Structure 1
Amino acid sequence: MQAIHDAELENWHDYEVGSRREIVALLRQIEEKKQLIRMKIKGEADVCVTSILEVDPDSGQFILDRSINREQNERIVNARGVTCETYLDKIRILFSLGSVHDTVHEGTAALVADIPETLIRLQRREFYRMPTPVTNPVPAVVPMPFELGGGNTTFPLADISCGGVALLDNKMLLNSTVGQIFTGCRIDLPEIGTVTTSLQVRNSLDVTMLNNKTSRRIGCMFVDISRGNMAAVQRYITRLERERNAKLAGLG
């Protein structure tokens, strides 16, 4: 896990989960999968690795394992608040606890805290990419350089994440050199709206299709994307995820 910073919980409101039912479900999944949690006292660098032992929505609390370090436990209990970080299905989860207290769980010393009112469910590019529809591709309009005639050319997306997109360049028109930046791109997200951002090439891959034609997949990172546009991307990813889950459940 990467280091958690106190400011992160304040910067990622676009990824905030406020549903009590969803928060309880996420905490229970973290418990069931025995995911390790990094707990850090706010303002300090010391980190305690713990795990969830039980989630009790009726009492509004959940039980955490204690640190093997007695002094560390004392600092956690006496702290004015702690921040917690874990991963669930490769998605980063962050939340803050106002206070943590000593308790006993199944005859063993443990820690107890109130279930957080909100948490951050951060689907980052390096962990989570959603394939976009093949039959009705999401179009990305890229301004072309003067030497290629100028104007705009539309490229279908292969996938999308909170960090960027993959473009399908079937005619190999774009400069796929790593670091190349395409400015003023427009991505039309169905039922969400248009996202405007610059895209920077991070990787490219030439793929031979079943018809023996070659297509180029260009992985791009968002550059200087606004908060509003990022929120739109997140909403679209959530929509794709719900549609996929509905199909898997036989509802789609």
Structure 2
Amino acid sequence: MSESLENLQHKLFSEEYQIGAGSKALQIIERITREHLFCTLFFAERDRSYTSMLLPNADSGSLVLDLPLDLPTQIQSGTPVVLLARIDGVITGFRSNLRERSPEELVLDFPEALYQMQRRQLYRVPPAVGDPDQVMISRQGAETFLGTMQDISVGGMRALFRPAPRDFPVQAGEHFPDVRFQLRGGNELSLSAIARFTDLHSQRGDALVIGLEFQDMSAAIREGIAQYVQSRDREILKALGIGLGGGRASGTAEQPAGLGRKLRRWWRG
């Protein structure tokens, strides 16, 4: 069984993986911001995660992130938060608190320490336009339902189902014996999964978002998903014109004007 990000965050924060909060930690955070790497956020007393990006910020005592579109309004200032990101296959994370929330941004306290651990397979990417993205889930004693893949990693998938299943509501912890989907250039994949979170958006026509954790994968399926994830990672960076090594001679790699807006339009679109 693949280890999930939810499980990983409980293992990461130990002395074994701590790198401190000195100049090296600052360089790592600056790189996450400069290369616009995707970050996964976990808020206290929330069962699911949210995806965002660190934004440039002149205040050295805080960090600024793009506001996730689906972040509940109940999450407000003072909420503890865990941030995870991937740098060259290394999971990087820290604990902080939400200092401020605005209509477009989140402001976090600067972390006291940073942690890193090797876990390449857990990085998540969205499918490309034109890639197969249909997901079919078979349930025990209920109707099969179809949805659309939102993002995928070797550990699992986030998928959107509109309309939500109408016969029996999906609950966190439910086991799905057969989840079928296809990746670019490959055959249909079939595996089992567990629903790690469910999020019903009644204002959007009873659309349901499910976070799936894959179970009992064969080595061939695991390798196929890993290759797709790595390929999409490179495509995303290339399409955005970032993370390609430009400006290394100066050590500060200045971004082109307007890149922040370009990224936000792409990410939110």
Q: What band does the TM-score fall into relative to the shorter chain?
A: 0.3 to 0.5
Greater RCO, CA 8 A, separation 6+? 2
Could you state the TM-score of these two structures normalised by the residue count of structure 1? 0.47
Could you state the TM-score of these two structures normalised by the residue count of structure 2? 0.44
User: Bigger radius of gyration, 1 or 2?
Assistant: 1
